[in-house]
Amino acid sequence: MKILAIGDLVGENGVRKLKQELPRIREEHDIDFVIVNAENSAGGMGITSKIFEDLLDMNVDCITMGNHTWGKKDIFSFIDHPKLLRPANYSKGVVGKGLGIYECKGKKIAVINLIGRTDMNVLSENPFTVANDLVNSIAGDVDMIFIDFHAEATAEKIAMGIYLDGKITALYGTHTHVQTADEHILENGTAYISDIGMTGPRNSVIGMDPEASIKRFVTSLPERYKLAEGDCILNGCIFETNDENCRVVKINRVNMR
């Protein structure tokens, strides 16, 4: 089985890029299941009902979020949709869910969305203890477990991968918008990559207009970010699993520039 994870959609142009390329990727790589991180899809912050419907029309199987989950108020009208996940380690009682279980080709695939705590400026529960509790609660009931760890610090992501090694199928990072080249299978069989990158404007500073970004760094003065324009890249990762033991046997990065 082949599971495709798409890196952070940045803006409406990123959504259009996915719509344009996804059918070809599906056909060329024989993709069975698709997970998309969409927390930056609406103007760079949050998701709207229109974009959510667009993703459903693309037959995306699971949509994950992150630190901009609540960026658009629209989300409260569809937060309970079974295909939408927000970080599982948000405070208890928050609407939505961080775990989804889906069926594909006779297999049960669990997807967990987590958010990091290092340099994220989001008050959240401990992602390590939440992840451990969730994984233990579904062990034996699902065939595969994929985790989208939306985090800033590479060290936090690596630590989480080793912490869960052998307990989950794959852990991949999102949030930094820069694809890393460290994809590998950990000692006990879990697939890992620090960040799968972004799907958004190519000539940009992680999706944002370069001029505004550079001005902030040069002057140290506040400058409103705005989305960059122009051609888009598409980043993601394909995890190929063995149908017998549901372990990842191959990891292929997708980098369409």
Q: How far apart are CA 214 and CA 205, in angstroms?
A: 9
Is 181 a domain residue? yes
pLDDT value at position 222? Answer: 86
pLDDT tens-digit readout, 18-52:
999 999 999 999 999 999 999 999 999 999 999 99
Judge whether 185 lies within some domain: yes
Say if 213 falls within a structural domain: no
- Whether residue 220 lies inside any domain: the answer is no
Count the domains in the chain.
1
Which positions are annotated as active-site residues?
68
Domain encompassing residue 7: 2-202+231-256
Q: What whole-number distance in Å separates Cα of residue 47 and Cα of residue 49?
A: 7
Segment 49-58 mean pLDDT: 98
Cα–Cα distance, 27 to 240 (Å, whole number)? 15
Using CA atoms, how far apart are residues 171 and 191, in angstroms rounded to an integer?
Answer: 6
| Domain-located, residue 218 | no
Q: First vs last Cα of the chain: how many Å apart?
A: 26
Residue 223 lies in a domain: no
Is residue 209 situated within a structural domain?
no
Residue type, 1: M
**CATH number, position 157:** 3.60.21.10
Q: Which residues contact 153 (CB under 8 A, 6 or more apart)?
A: 116, 118, 119
Q: What is the pTM of this model?
A: 0.97
Structure tokens at 38: 């969409």
Note whether residue 212 is domain-resident.
no
CB 197 within 8 Å of CB 177: yes
